[in-house]
Chains A and B, each alone.
Chain A
Amino acid sequence: MICEHCKERQATITVTQVINGQKSERHYCEVCASQFHPFNLDFHKEDQIPIHQLVSNLFGLPVWKSETQEKQQTVTQKAAQCPKCGFTFRHFLNEGKLGCPQCYETFSKQLPQVLTKIQAGTKHSGKAPGKMNNNKEWMKKQIESVREQLQVAIVEERFEDAAKLRDEIREIERKLEHGGVDTP
């Protein structure tokens, strides 16, 4: 078989794609397949996927719905329109972005299903405004990890790096003594 893209070389790789439940198989040579990327829209010159559909595919929500689903959607859409910017959830899916901070509250029920696909979780576990950033524990952990790197550098006889790492440890220790505040 000959590669579908360059139509020159022998096809050695089969790419199976499932879009909205539609399975399609394509055969490419190694050269063309190495350029292949799921977001590289130019690759399939004949059947370009519209960007909103791409986002929907990514989030696993079909864009073209059957009539009953369409009706359900319009009901939830009416219920969930952001009072601040007028964004609907459908609008967000098409755009891939939200309109205002209020949107996060308006769509607080639908967002987690999107977030689980692109993030490590749906709950924030980092810094919060107004709270003192208690990073003493982290600094201690950091010193340990730099010490390990230092050992490796010494074993590998990279003494210049070792000297830098030693200075880095001293620097973090100094900060730690000043209660985590970066004062010279």
Chain B
Amino acid sequence: MNLEHFLKSGAPGWMGDKGLDADIVLSTRIRLARNLDGYRFPLSFTDHEAIQVDEIVTDAMHQISNKEHNFSHFTIKDMPLLQRQVLVEKHLISPLLSKKEKSASVLISNDETISVMINEEDHLRIQCLAPGLQLIETYALANKLDSQLEKHLPYAYNEAFGYLTSCPTNVGTGLRASVMMHLPALTMSKQIKVVTQMLARLGMVVRGIYGEGSENLGNIYQISNQVTLGKSEEEIIDDLQSVVVQIIQNERGAREALLKNSRIALEDRFNRSLGTLKYARIMTSEEAAACLSNVRLGVDLNIIKEVPLNVLNECMILIQPGFVQQYAGTTLQASERDVFRAKLLREKLNAKTQKLMEEGEERYDV
């Protein structure tokens, strides 16, 4: 499969509208960090080691490829910067990997649900993505792939410390499970701070989706486990699952309360945002994210009926700078991006209402 397949605009495979609790939980991600025994970590290895690791892992991946999961291999330094950025925005590679020049590469499954990054911070980063809340299923998928790989790869493992990783924050299970949640009602009612503090005490972290520092842009939060050592994989997943279920209940409660107390104000806000998205000529990513969040909540609360969730999912991905530039077909200044972003959103949101039937088929293969 060539790179174009993965650069295609549109929501990636892991961002369907299926999944459980898909109105609040956008996606689930599982990441396993693994290293090969006898090779230094990417922080200190030589070019020669880097090439060897890349070859060994790629070879192992090809051996376990089957009909179900077919992987394509891409070397980071062969890719233009804009293409790397698009893959980052699709969450198929990490920002760190996209900056690596030294034999860093990635293997992506054709359906975009699995990506294996080579020579990122660790030799291997196995990542599985799924729509909605599917921690157990997604971990099962990652675990299966990991168990197949361990037959071909000499994993660095130690009885006491478990899977050895470059950073001690990943050692042990090497597992980072994260769930991306849309929490507008908790944010509006300022309860999110309490949730964040509570999570920190439980050994979990909250971050924004559009990378670090972009806290609560579009009211989207990524919640993940911090602890990787001293707990088994099952315990980590169970703990995160119960926290997420709790947050979902709180969010639903907050939504009901908002709707009860200020229905007309909410209706006004949702429809204004939809109007802005449909007709604005200049859109910063902040404004676009805020409007999309409002429209999404409007759809969830059954106030806005003409916009399907999958179009909103797609837009959330498309408003990022890399995608906007790919859509324009060239690199752009920030101010030019805002113009193209507005154009892109107008096309998506105005076209969808009439052309939904014709485009049904295209939706199918994203």
Instruction: Specify the chain A residue showing the minimal Cβ separation from B232.
Output: A126
Collect the chain B residues with CB atoms within 8 Å of residue A84's CB: 40
- Give A174 Cβ to nearest chain B Cβ, in Å: 13
Collect the chain B residues with CB atoms within 8 Å of residue A105's CB: 158
Chain A interface mostly helix, strand, loop or mixed?
A: loop
Q: Is A108 an interface residue (CB 8 A)?
A: yes
Contact in complex: A97, B229 (CB < 8 Å): no
Collect the chain A residues with CB atoms within 8 Å of residue B173's CB: 124, 126-127
Q: Is A20 an interface residue (CB 8 A)?
A: no
Collect the chain A residues with CB atoms within 8 Å of residue B21's CB: 161
- Give A57 Cβ to nearest chain B Cβ, in Å: 16
Q: How large is the interface on B (under 10, 10 to 19, 20 to 34, 35 or more residues)?
A: 35 or more
Which of B39, B156, B166, B245 has a CB less than 8 Å from the CB of A97?
Answer: B166
Which of B44, B136, B228, B232 has a CB less than 8 Å from the CB of A100?
Answer: B44
Q: Is A182 an interface residue (CB 8 A)?
A: yes
Contact in complex: A99, B168 (CB < 8 Å): no
Q: How large is the interface on A (under 10, 10 to 19, 20 to 34, 35 or more residues)?
A: 35 or more
Which of B37, B41, B147, B157 has a CB less than 8 Å from the CB of A98?
Answer: B41
Kindly supply a per-residue 1/0 record for chain B positions 26-50, scoring 1 wherever the CB is within 8 Å of any chain A CB and 0 otherwise: 0000000001011111011100000
- Give A33 Cβ to nearest chain B Cβ, in Å: 12
Contact in complex: B156, A101 (CB < 8 Å): yes
Contact in complex: A124, B229 (CB < 8 Å): yes
Contact in complex: A123, B136 (CB < 8 Å): no
Q: Name A159-173 residues within 8 Å CB distance of B.
A: 161, 164-165, 168, 172
Chain B interface mostly helix, strand, loop or mixed?
A: loop
- Give A161 Cβ to nearest chain B Cβ, in Å: 7
In the complex the two chains form, what is the Cα distance from A100 to B43 in whole Å? 9
Contact in complex: B44, A85 (CB < 8 Å): yes
Q: Is A95 an interface residue (CB 8 A)?
A: yes
9-residue interface stretch from A1-9, A72-80, A130-138? A130-138
Q: Is B177 an interface residue (CB 8 A)?
A: no
Contact in complex: A164, B203 (CB < 8 Å): no
- Of the A-B pairs whose beta carbons lie under 8 Å apart in the complex, a sample of 15, sorted by A's number, is A96-B167, A97-B167, A100-B44, A104-B158, A104-B161, A119-B228, A119-B230, A120-B227, A120-B229, A121-B230, A121-B231, A122-B229, A124-B161, A124-B162, A133-B147
Interface residues of A (CB under 8 A from B): 84-87, 95-101, 104-105, 108, 111, 114-115, 118-130, 133, 135, 138, 141-142, 145, 149, 161, 164-165, 168, 172, 182
